Amino acid sequence: MIGECLFVEFAVAGDDCPLADATRATGASVDARPPQLRQDGYALLQFSSTDGDGLAAALDGDDRVRYLHLARDDDRYTYRCLSKHPCVVHELTDAGLLVDSLHYRDGDASVAGAVVGRDVLQAVLAAAGDTVGVTLERTYPIGERGDAAVAERWGLTPAQADALRTAHGMGYFSVPRDADAGDVAAALGVSKSAYLERLRRGLDRLLAGAL
């Protein structure tokens, strides 16, 4: 049994898959489940966004997208479709990345997930290095108890839990604040926008579980 599990985060720029192109054209923000690649080469996509008509029109006009379905739940829309054009995430999953979260905004993507063991990590990094536009943002060991306990109780990803924990420890939530978003992002080693996105999603999940 391999006892080491690592969490890795990648930034993807310049992908030309339907989701990247649609968010680039509309400015929409999309949260996607890991795509599933069928034997016939089509990718099964399921994703959500606060954008309904604009994103739907962009995807519906894409010849690579088939069987687009749109459902509305309050102010959020859930999409399901088939894509003829697999995204670059498949290069990482084929190498061994277990995708935990996938987010598209303005044509760029952030991918986070786990790898089991250093050998798999090296394979994933090699795949990323061979794929245009993919850069490693961060990697760190997943704790045996702490991160798992948080994720099980509140449904947080390790990155979201780390963002909340670091923000709290640095006084981001104090009044007045002891640290601003840029300070916390620097401590986490990510961009300010990436930190704020994790913070928003993490708080949303915490509130959803507590209220």
Residue 30 lies in a domain: yes
Q: Is the pTM of this model over 0.85?
A: no
When divided into structural domains, the chain yields a total of: 2
Residue 106 lies in a domain: no
Q: What is the pLDDT of residues 163-202, one digit of tens each?
A: 888 888 788 887 788 888 888 888 888 888 888 988 888 8
**pLDDT block averages, 10 residues each, the chain of length 211:** 74 90 92 87 90 90 94 86 88 88 89 85 87 81 53 68 82 82 85 87 74 46
Separation between Cα atoms, residue 171 and residue 177, nearest integer Å: 6
Report the CATH number that the domain containing residue 173 is assigned in CATH: 1.10.10
Domain range for 205: 146-210
Separation between Cα atoms, residue 128 and residue 51, nearest integer Å: 30
- Span between the terminal Cα atoms of the chain, in Å: 39
Task: List for the chain the helix, strand, coil content (%; round to 5).
Answer: 40, 30, 30
Pairing of strands 43-49, 36-37: antiparallel
Q: Among 45, 65, 83, where does a domain finish?
A: 83
Q: What is the pLDDT of residues 96-112, one digit of tens each?
A: 998 888 889 899 998 88
Q: Which amino acid is at 128?
A: A
